[in-house]
Amino acid sequence: MAGHRTSWVLHVDLDQFVAAVEVLRRPELAGRPVIVGGRGDPSERAVVSTASYEAREFGVGSGMPLRIAARKAPDAVILPVDAEAYGAASAAVMATLRVQPGAIVQVLGWDEAFVGVETADPEAYARRIQQAVLDRTRLHCSVGIGDTLVRAKVATGFGKPRGVFRLTAGNWLEVMGDRPTIELWGVGTKISRRLAGLGIATVAELAAADPDALAAEFGPRMGPWYAELGRGDGTDVVDDTPWVARGHSRETTYQQDLTEPGQIEDAVRELAAHVLDDVAAEGRPVIGLTLKVRYAPFITKVFTKKIASTTDRAVVVARTLELVGRIEPDRPIRLLGLRAEMTMPDDAREGHSPTRSGW
């Protein structure tokens, strides 16, 4: 019975993490709308990395162009991204989680992690985590409690900010059933639209959907997985095996559109150099390439290519330039991105996580 359960998954999510780190460095910004993105200049092409709760009240959100965010929240303080500071703060948080009694910690990103724990009182354990993180880092977090990773992750949204919420098989459909599928972890705009095309609009409808119909739409692996998501089911195992990246990517938004073939080739070569430096640090060969092209004003295309396994930089660059040939001529380009996929080591963590989708 759920009431006697002692094995729990906790999802720890730092509240407005990047903005909170900036406010700690500049206490005078507390309570003010704060936007972090690009080089902090809304006249440049850049997007919002994060926005404080105060800025979100104006409709500012992650991924929004900075110039639009500045218009929505004219009194907001706009700051440049400082990845080094956020990385240091994140490391302190994760170190705090790892020293909690009996904790198994699976890091999901800068600002979130799963914690597996045996306890008869997960709410009390969650509150202790919140206090420990606050004492060590002065950062607040929310904690979702679940009997699977999916339920714990979704629960956190109901606990924000600074709260604790529990979702289990017992209350999943009561809490989530009438909500749109896009509120599920791993279901974005495109997938929710495709589900709607099958007559599936809510979480309850997805939970009750025919797996065969889903498999026909999404494939034999992903179809049943979406049905599982609708029920909140899945693994309850928190895996602390260090995450191994499948690939590395870099992208650049250009302040002036690229219009000449020579400009585009030079830009791709520069991206490739940075990506290959990241790949070299892994010591694994490249087996696939993805070139992301955003034409002006804002139309994005993605070109992919599998290549023979290689660690030769010149070969990877040559294969990348072959992808450049698929770019439409005479169309101005505002962004380029390059991702290199690598072979995976034998002992890499297995399984699918909705947050590990790359681009």
Residue 83 has pLDDT above 70, yes or no: yes
In degrees to the nearest 10, what's the CA dihedral of 40, 43, 46, 47?
80
Indicate which residues carry an active-site annotation: 112
* Amino acid of residue 230: G
Residue whose C-alpha is closest to residue 48's, from 59, 38, 57: 38
Question: H-type helices in 52-121, by residue range?
Answer: 53-56, 66-72, 83-98
Per-chain mean pLDDT for the chain: 93
What the block records as the tokens of 37 is 């993105």
Tens-place pLDDT, residues 191-247: 999 999 999 999 999 999 998 999 999 999 999 999 999 999 999 999 998 877 889
Tens-place pLDDT, residues 165-198: 999 999 999 999 999 999 999 898 999 999 999 9
* CA 55 – CA 358 distance, rounded (Å): 27
Residue with tokens 């020293």: 99
Beta bridge partners of 1: none
What angle, 0 to 180 degrees and rounded to 10, lies between the N-to-C axes of helices 83-98 and 122-137? Answer: 140
What is the distance between the terminal CA atoms of the chain, rounded to a whole angstrom?
40
What the block records as the tokens of 315 is 């070969």
5 pLDDT band, cuts 50/70/90, is confident
Give the H/E segment covering residue 337: strand 333-342
Tens-place pLDDT, residues 266-291: 999 999 999 999 999 989 999 999 99
Residue 171 CA from chain centroid, whole number? 26
What the block records as the tokens of 149 is 């990773």
